[in-house]
Amino acid sequence: METVDNKRKHVISRRIDTFFLKIFDAWRFVRRFFSELFKPPLEWGEIVKQCYQVGYLSLGLISLTGFITGLVFTKQSRPSLSEFGAASWLPSLVAIAIIRALAPLVTSLICAGKVGSNIGAELGSMKVTEQIDAMEVSATNPYKFLVVSRVIATTLMIPVLTCYSAFIGLMGSFLDVNAHEKTSLTTFFENAFSKITFLDIGATLVKAICYGFTIGMVSCYKGYRASQGTEGVGRAANASVVLSMFFIFLEEIIIVQITNYVRS
């Protein structure tokens, strides 16, 4: 009986040690990013390429999702507001929902699935095929070339995609409002932004920047630390998406609490 208890304690202790070692390794990985970021030269060619991959190639999916989000949210909100005779508040309600929450959250979740999985699989494949080791042997800094460039790209492009998604979402909402209330575009946007403050816009941009950094860093970390062949590549891609989404929701809670505290 004592032997079984000792084995259990040993297993638990080993798991705890492994957990904290992984946290420390992740911290070192993030800390290295900031140390490499301010060391010249930056890989500008790779950064532009990754911005194209993250931003331009995601426009189609972001456009469709943003438009549907604005259109569906407007259709779902109209019956409730009409019951109270407050259909005229619909543009303001939609703008508050999209700009404060839906645009950054939906955009980042889509990018976590599309961009995060791609980065995790790409770097994971390079790791298990020893391409990263070959870069180190050839006197190239693989961390700066592969990680720094991708994290910068996601941190820069997610805010841009968020603003674009918010605009497309509002246009989808306008089409529905115009079809029912015959509201002009000018009147719609005047009503929509009547309740939007600089704090709302600032908080949305802060969210988008944090989400972009999280997606890039988590995806690069899981891909850079991939092992065990093609199976490890699949696990890295899957973990990139799951962990990115988890941290995005966690950051959403924290930033909303801070924003509400400042607003009050």
125's tokens:
């494949």
pLDDT digits (tens, 9 = 90+) for 160-186: 999 999 999 999 999 999 988 888 899
The pLDDT > 70 percentage for the chain reads 97
pLDDT digits (tens, 9 = 90+) for 85-131: 777 889 999 999 999 999 999 999 999 999 999 999 999 999 888 88
Query: Is the peptide bond prior to 41 cis by the omega test (within 30 degrees of 0)?
Result: yes
Where residue 134 falls among pLDDT bands split at 50, 70, 90? confident
> Is 146 a residue whose pLDDT tops 50?
yes
* Domain parsing of the chain, residue ranges: 1-39, 43-263
The pLDDT > 90 percentage for the chain reads 59
pLDDT digits (tens, 9 = 90+) for 109-118: 999 999 999 9
> Is 1 a residue whose pLDDT tops 70?
no
Q: What is the mean pLDDT of residues 226-251?
A: 90
3-state SS, one letter per residue, for the chain = CHHHHHHHHHHHHHHHHHHHHHHHHHHHHHHHHHHHHCCCCCCHHHHHHHHHHHCHHHHHHHHHHHHHHHHHHHHHHHHHHHHCCCHHHHHHHHHHHHHHHHHHHHHHHHHHHHHHHHHHHHHHHHHHCCHHHHHHHCCCCHHHHHHHHHHHHHHHHHHHHHHHHHHHHHHHHHHHHHHHHCCCHHHHHHHHCCCCCHHHHHHHHHHHHHHHHHHHHHHHHHHHCCCCHHHHHHHHHHHHHHHHHHHHHHHHHHHHHHHHHHHC
86's tokens:
């407050």
pLDDT of residue 4: 61
Tell me the pTM. Answer: 0.91
Q: Name the burial class of residue 72, with classes exposed (0-12), middle (13-18) and buried (19+) by CB atoms within 10 angstroms of its CB.
A: middle
